Structure 1
Amino acid sequence: MTAQLPPIPPGPADTTHPRRALARLALSTAYREAADFAAGGVPTVSDEYGDGYDNVDQAARLVSMAQDVLVRAVIYARERGGRWDDIAEALNVAAGQARDQYTAAIEQWEDALNRPWERSGRFLASRMPDGTTEPDETAADLDQWCLQHLKQNHGARHNAHNDGLEDHMVSANLSKHTPVTEIASLTRTAIYLARRGTATSPAELDAYETRKKILLASLAQEVT
């Protein structure tokens, strides 16, 4: 008998954490991965066991990882309300060039927010960037990473220590859902489902209706 394939979980991805927080976790994760990879290139003890071009290969891979950091930084800037003119100035390019260069990545991010999971053979695969599928766990891991890798005199750690946040250098300032962000997320989902039309699955509709009822009840309770 053929085993039943697991159902694809409905979106959106930003039900428990606002999209701005998810974008920041994706950026922090990309920074950590690049930093960890770069650290492996510092020692010389293995040089004689490899080829002469190994460091070139490693440096090229590091550049590629840095490009991903940059993409995540642009997406996070947009999630914070950053204008293309300001982003272009930071990149030292024209606004139109910045928009053209990163629009595809932002559209991919938006699409993944609406439909965060897909089937990969017999398994489910996340369409969201690394670090966003389990936000609380990611934030806790990044908190520990910062404690282990940032020196005591590092500016961020120094400020966190003064604010009593040294153990939570990532999680402490992640944005939380507000009624405004909840409504915005629900509205985006409604538009997405309407655009999908008959392709919308029953699970997607049920998840949307359930979330809408919970949000409306919560808002009504706050008013009363």
Structure 2
Amino acid sequence: MSMEDKTEPTYEDAPYTELALAQLALAATAQELADFLMEFVVVWRGWHRRPVEDAARFVRRAQEFLDRAVIVEKVSGASWEDIGDTLEITRQSAHAKFRQVAEEWEAAVKRPIVTDEIYGIGGLQTRTYNRMPAGTATPDETAAYLDKWAIAHAQADGRDIEERPVSGGLVRMDALTELLTLHNRTAAVLDEFAAPPPHLLAEIYEREAVLLDRVAAGGSGRSARDAKKRAAEARERAATHRAQDAHTKSIAETQTPDQHAIEHERRWPKEIWGPYRVFPDLATARDWCAHCNVWIGTETSRS
């Protein structure tokens, strides 16, 4: 059997590999820098700009470009010593210089989408956002835009270029690779919480079941049977966590904020996005627990 026969199929709903996302972040930053520099080429008569200020802005953006380049090399397997040698600094200096960027990247990759709640003038507001940088929150849209950008500039210069110069080089995960990332994601959730909120684990196991079905469909014999069995087990775990989530919500409806706080501190001593907190909703006279993802009390509990 050839290597091509062993290649795992990928699907449109499959996420991009970590390296592909790092490359896309680098490409998006490069495009922004290129557009920024183009403004300096034209000399406008009577235009009183401040080139030093603009150049300083460029240097700050160039530092971000270097940060993104470091992430690409780290994801590709480079050591801090390798990066230090390239920059002609020590391994320790390279680690100190880029450690925060690397840690932020790793945290975002493990858990890109987070939900936060804030109480504003209009009442309780939920904000869900993606922590991934420089266009990687919406990678397909960013890649399509960069394709058009690269093609337009190549045509203006009279250069030949591929039809998909950016998106064509981005690799998606196969089912086995994504399963590994799900296991890492599960480990990260278990490390973050003493008892993870059930809705987080339910999402992971639901996706795991889909991927194991694909592994089973692409396999045969014992490996396919094992994958089918594991898919069924993943669905059972997902259903259990969904039921726990529904139960948590139903219990919260009978509690006061103080009662929920006591139970919360007992069950989840670790922090999520800062310490435990509730946000009052003046419209319903209820509190919202940002951790448990539940409303506390009924609409008339404090009336």
The bucket for the TM-score relative to the shorter chain is 0.7 to 0.9
CA distance in 2, matches of 1:120, 1:130: 24
Unaligned runs of 5+ in 1: 1-13
State the match for 1:6 in structure 2: none
Q: Give TM-score, length-normalised by structure 1.
A: 0.80
Equivalent pair of 1:41/1:58 in contact (CA under 8 Å): no
CA distance in 1, matches of 2:47, 2:208: 60
* Aligned residues: CA RMSD: 2.3
CA distance in 2, matches of 1:196, 1:167: 43
SS in 1 for 2:128: strand
Unaligned runs of 5+ in 2: 1-12, 119-124, 221-303
Counterpart amino acid of residue 145 in structure 2:
D
State the match for 2:22 in structure 1: 23
Equivalent pair of 2:175/2:214 in contact (CA under 8 Å): no
After superposition, residues 36-185 of structure 1 pair within 5 angstroms as 36-45=35-44, 48-50=46-48, 54-118=50-114, 119=116, 121=118, 122=125, 123-150=127-154, 161=161, 166-185=162-181
Cα shift readout 1:35-75 (whole Å, capped 9, x = no counterpart): 111111221105x3325xx1000000000000000000100
Counterpart amino acid of residue 71 in structure 1:
D
Would the alpha carbon gap of residues 44 and 169 (structure 1) be closer, same or farther in structure 2, given more than 3 Å must change? Answer: same
Give the CA deviation at 1:199: 6.3
Report which stretch shifted further, 204-213 or 90-99. 90-99
CA distance in 1, matches of 2:71, 2:117: 26
Would the alpha carbon gap of residues 57 and 177 (structure 1) be closer, same or farther in structure 2, given more than 3 Å must change? Answer: same
More helix by share: 1
More strand by share: 2
Equivalent pair of 1:20/1:76 in contact (CA under 8 Å): yes
SS in 2 for 1:168: coil
CA distance in 1, matches of 2:210, 2:83: 37
Equivalent pair of 1:144/1:167 in contact (CA under 8 Å): no
State the match for 1:8 in structure 2: none
Counterpart amino acid of residue 44 in structure 1:
V
Counterpart amino acid of residue 94 in structure 2:
A
Q: Give TM-score, length-normalised by structure 2.
A: 0.60
> Which structure has the greater CA radius of gyration?
2
Would the alpha carbon gap of residues 98 and 206 (structure 1) be closer, same or farther in structure 2, given more than 3 Å must change? Answer: same
CA distance in 2, matches of 1:71, 1:50: 32
Equivalent pair of 2:26/2:65 in contact (CA under 8 Å): yes
CA distance in 1, matches of 2:89, 2:117: 38
SS in 2 for 1:205: helix
Would the alpha carbon gap of residues 120 and 20 (structure 1) be closer, same or farther in structure 2, given more than 3 Å must change? Answer: farther
